[in-house]
Amino acid sequence: MSSEGTLPPDDVLADRLRAGDERSFQLVLDAWSASMLRLARSFVSSNASAEEVVQETWLAVIRGIDGFEGRSALKTWVFRILVNTAKKRGTKESRTIPFGSMTPDDEAATVEPSRFQPVGDPYPGHWRPGEKPQRWSEPENAAERSEVLRTVAAAVATLADRSRIVITLRDMEGYSSEEVCEMLDISPGNQRVILHRARAVVRAALAGYFDAERSVSP
């Protein structure tokens, strides 16, 4: 199976895709389809629908590769097509609401607001000095790591659609804030608020897990 490390530079890859090179198409298909499916699933109501979104996206990429101008990374361009396709499908399924409709007060706070820097601070939403939680120790074995991952996945599954999508892109797929804002067409401020609250939900779930573990430890 291909990984992103085996892909050629974007300009070379784009030229090969324009030329209809099947091997290059298989490379990107292998490298990106799994993460595309995970992201699409955040917008739509079923795995089958997510698979259709991914298929539609690849068809759109093939048809539109001549229009790729290199202003962003090729992967970002492909994922933007995926997001637009998935949002349309999700809207038809009454799965999602427009990202642009979100305001910072649109969701209840998951952590006491006084623990964070206020609006107007150079770093709004960041932890105040002395308020940042202490790190937990790393899981000691494979079973504990699996349980931690299940705890995280369960917490992410409880999030509102937009929160789940943003945390998936930022913390699971590794996209930068700028890339996520471009893909989802949201402002940096909204992206920060959504991500912060999503992370707070996950952190609260992990805190509960580790507290329970400590309570049963000898």
Say if CB 207 and CB 137 are below 8 A apart: no
pLDDT of 189 higher than 80: yes
- 43 with 72, same domain: the answer is yes
Query: Where is the domain boundary, 29, 64, 93?
Result: 93
In terms of domains, do 127 and 74 share one?
no
In a domain, 207, yes or no: yes
The CA-CA-CA angle for residues 40, 42, 48, to 5°, reads 55
pLDDT of residue 172: 83
Percent helix / strand / coil, the chain, rounded to 5: 65, 0, 35
For 53, the token pair is 């979104």
Same domain? 125 vs 163: yes
Give a yes or no: residue 189 inside a domain. yes
CB–CB of 60/54 below 8 Å?
Answer: no
Query: What does the DSSP 8-state code read for residue 20?
Result: T
pLDDT, one tens digit per residue, over 64-115 is 999 999 888 899 899 999 999 998 888 887 755 555 544 444 445 455 656 6
Assess contact for 32 and 83: CB atoms under 8 A.
Answer: no
Specify the pLDDT at position 148: 80
Residue 159 has pLDDT above 60, yes or no: yes
pLDDT of residue 214: 66
Q: Is the distance from CB of 32 to CB of 75 less than 8 angstroms? A: yes
pLDDT in tens, 7-50: 899 999 999 999 999 999 999 999 999 989 988 888 888 899 99
Q: What is the domain-level CATH number for residue 17?
A: 1.10.1740.10
For the chain, the domain total comes to 2
Look at the alpha carbons of 127, 128, 131, 135 in this order and tell me if their dihedral is positive or negative. Answer: positive
Longest dimension (CA), the chain: 64
22-31, 124-133, 185-194: the lowest-pLDDT one: 124-133
CATH number, domain at 144?
1.10.10.10
* Contact call for residues 90 and 184 (beta carbons, < 8 A): no
Q: Which residue type occupies 122?
A: P
| Domain extent at residue 84 | 10-93
Q: Integer distance in angstroms from the first to the last C-alpha of the chain? A: 44
Q: Is 108 inside any structural domain?
A: no
| Residues 38, 130 within the same domain | no
User: pLDDT band at 185, cuts 50/70/90?
Assistant: confident
Instruction: Please provide the average confidence, as pLDDT, over all residues in the chain.
Output: 80
- How far apart, in whole angstroms, are the C-alpha atoms of residue 86 and residue 176? 20
Percent of the chain with pLDDT over 70: 75
Distance CA 98, CA 123 (A): 26
Is 138 a member of any domain? yes
**120 with 205, same domain?**
yes
Residues 86 and 119 in one domain: no
What is the structure's pLDDT at 61?
A: 95
Is the pLDDT assigned to residue 1 strictly greater than 60?
no
Asked whether residue 1 is domain-assigned, the answer is: no
176 and 119 within one domain: yes
- Confidence tier at 63 by pLDDT (50, 70, 90): very high
- Find the mean pLDDT for residues 167-194: 87
Reported as half-sphere exposure (CB side, CA atoms, 13 A), residue 53 has a value of 33
73 and 151 in a common domain: no
